[in-house]
């Protein structure tokens, strides 16, 4: 079957000019149908990067086709931010109306379509691919087309990647207020500087007017992108997200390395605690290092256990450092919105964890829901939200209200504050009246641009304003806003 043409009026990102099939004549092409909210699509991106490197001297191209799920994902400016945030180098076509999606009969995110040098569809592959199998398939098509003289002798160059931000922070993902260091009583603030692949630990004091200020900070992760253990300046991460502290160890969800890491505040060293470093599902044994920890997104220390939201597995796991063991605690692993006993409940990319009495509050991002896991009843309950395709921006009674892909929630003074990420707002649920209202933000990118989470110190909310490369401080009583400064 001949591959359908690209729409002539389509918006293209990451390339200077629109691309037509005539430009690709003689080239093998891999189309990646994706949407930037989708954790499974995120798992595919490193595979594509490695394949692009492997076949860099061949007439082979990867082209992304961004087919949005959420309304927020339809805007090219938001897609451009996601392209930069994930370090995507190849061209991306914006398919927000799903025109190309329908022409290629795509039914799921992600889906890959392999097209030969004559513009014919070779194979359509829904889901996350096996990298070795996909690489062999591409190599076979290149060899076949070279033998038939259909392959071009030259490789076209289309890509013009957007430059990364020139700012102290780059796409900060999470903040967490940690217990003070033993030698003082000042709060310790952790900021995951996700785009710079590092963790910042800052000592915080309070100014006379009650606003927090950073006195000093340490940088963990000076070794560039990677998964190197060792001293602070030699260790490396890959787009880390949530953290929390138990004793002298700060636990880190090293998201795109698919690892749980530990920062020892006493020895000043980083150690890998769990994960194989790959996103491929696999059966594991008793050793946490033999388990596939697919896109861990947040950590929460409770007693002698560290809970980890494993977004890529749609579960919440428990790590017991004294044994050590790591196991799924909440969620069956099926992506959906189903309450009930821990092993039967279904979650969808749990992306934050926070204490809520004898329960754990979490933002279940792909179902645009706020839920909690009751640790006494061993059941999951929903505060608000209804399902995978029920989303919007609606305040009022919780039974009718809607969020759009929230990535954070925290309980403070009788209310739940929510990072309503794709609405560019902070929402507030009144626990007594069971209603929700916008607390901060008007939907514009200038005030907040897809905030990745939130926490609080004193009367001030701390919000990583992810795509604006800053941490915002919002007063809980007045909604006055300032930006957190690093000295």
pLDDT at 166: 86
Q: Are 418 and 406 in contact (CB under 8 A)?
A: yes
Q: What is the dihedral of CA 468, 473, 479, 481, to 10 degrees?
A: -60
Q: CB within 8 A of 20, min separation 6: which ones?
A: 5, 6, 8
Domain ranges of the chain: 11-147, 175-483
User: What average pLDDT is seen over the chain?
Assistant: 96
Cβ atoms of residues 455 and 462 within 8 Å: yes
pLDDT in tens, 281-326: 665 567 999 999 999 999 999 999 999 999 999 999 999 999 999 9
**Rounded mean pLDDT, 337-350:** 99
Structure tokens at 11: 């918006």
Count, residues in the chain: 487
Asked if residue 368 has a cis previous peptide bond (ω within 30° of 0), the answer is no
Token reading at 385: 């939200």
Task: Inform me whether the pLDDT recorded for 44 exceeds 70.
Answer: yes
The answer to whether 218 and 232 have CB atoms below 8 angstroms apart is yes
Annotation: CATH topology of 11-147:
Glutaredoxin (3.40.30)
Neighbouring residues of 135: CB distance < 8 A, sequence distance ≥ 6: 51, 54
All residues at 6 or more sequence positions from 56 whose CB lies less than 8 Å from its CB, including other chains = none
CA 358 to chain centre: 27
Q: Is-cis flag, bond preceding 110, omega within 30?
A: yes
Q: Count of CB atoms within 10 A of residue 399's CB?
A: 8
d(CA 328, CA 448): 34
Contact call for residues 296 and 311 (beta carbons, < 8 A): yes
pTM, to two decimals:
0.96
Distance (Å, whole) CA 166 – CA 164: 7
Domain 175-483: assigned CATH number: 2.120.10.30
Region 37-46: mean pLDDT is 98
Mean pLDDT across 7-15: 95
Q: What is the pLDDT of residue 285?
A: 65
Sign of CA dihedral 200, 203, 207, 211: positive
Tens-digit pLDDT profile for residues 420-464: 999 999 999 999 999 999 999 999 999 999 999 999 999 999 999
Q: CB pairs under 8 A, 24+ apart, for 281-289?
A: 281/313, 286/325, 288/260, 288/319, 288/324, 288/325, 288/326
Q: What are phi and psi of 364, to 5 degrees?
A: -100, 90
């Amino acid at each position: 079957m001949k591959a359908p043409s690209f729409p002539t009026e389509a918006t293209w990102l990451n390339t200077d000019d629109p691309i037509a099939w005539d430009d690709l004549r003689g080239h093998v092409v891999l189309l990646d149908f994706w949407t930037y909210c989708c954790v499974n699509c995120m798992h595919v991106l490193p595979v594509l990067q490695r394949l692009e490197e492997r076949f860099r001297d061949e007439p082979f191209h990867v082209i992304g086709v961004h087919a949005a799920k959420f309304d927020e994902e339809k805007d090219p400016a938001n897609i451009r931010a996601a392209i930069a945030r994930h370090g995507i180098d190849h061209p991306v076509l914006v398919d927000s109306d799903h025109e190309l999606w329908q022409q290629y009969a795509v039914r799921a995110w992600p889906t890959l379509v392999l097209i030969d040098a004559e513009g014919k569809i070779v194979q359509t592959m829904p889901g996350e691919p096996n990298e070795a199998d996909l690489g062999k398939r591409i190599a076979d098509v290149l060899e076949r087309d070279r033998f038939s003289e259909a392959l071009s002798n030259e490789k076209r160059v289309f890509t013009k990647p957007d430059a990364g931000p020139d700012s102290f922070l780059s796409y900060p993902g999470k903040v967490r207020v940690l217990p003070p260091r033993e030698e003082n009583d000042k709060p310790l603030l952790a900021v995951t500087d996700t785009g710079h692949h590092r963790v910042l630990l800052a000592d915080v004091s309070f100014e006379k007017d009650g606003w927090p200020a950073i006195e000093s900070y340490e940088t963990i992760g000076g070794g560039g992108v990677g998964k190197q253990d060792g001293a602070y300046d030699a260790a490396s991460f890959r787009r880390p997200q949530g953290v929390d502290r138990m004793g002298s160890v700060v636990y880190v969800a090293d998201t795109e390395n698919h690892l749980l890491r530990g920062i020892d505040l006493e020895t000043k060293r980083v150690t890998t605690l769990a994960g194989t470093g790959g996103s491929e599902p696999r059966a594991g044994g008793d050793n946490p290092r033999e388990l596939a920890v697919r896109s861990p997104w947040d950590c929460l220390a409770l007693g002698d256990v560290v809970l980890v939201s494993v977004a890529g597995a749609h579960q919440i796991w428990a790590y017991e450092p004294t044994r050590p063991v790591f196991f799924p605690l909440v969620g069956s692993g099926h992506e959906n919105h189903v309450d009930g006993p821990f092993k039967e409940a279904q979650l969808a990319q749990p992306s934050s964890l926070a204490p809520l009495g004898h329960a754990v509050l979490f933002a279940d991002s792909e179902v645009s829901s706020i839920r909690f896991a009751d640790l006494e009843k061993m059941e999951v309950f929903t505060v608000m939200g209804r399902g995978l395709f029920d989303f919007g921006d609606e305040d009022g009674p919780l039974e009718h209200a809607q969020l759009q892909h929230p990535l954070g929630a925290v309980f403070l003074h009788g209310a739940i504050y929510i990072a309503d990420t794709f609405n560019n707002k902070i929402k507030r649920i009144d626990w007594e009246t069971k209603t929700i209202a916008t607390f901060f933000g008007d939907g514009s990118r200038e005030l907040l641009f897809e905030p990745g989470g939130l926490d609080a110190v004193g009367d001030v909310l701390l919000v990583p304003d992810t795509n604006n490369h800053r941490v915002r401080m919002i007063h809980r009583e007045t909604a006055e806003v300032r930006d957190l400064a690093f000295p």
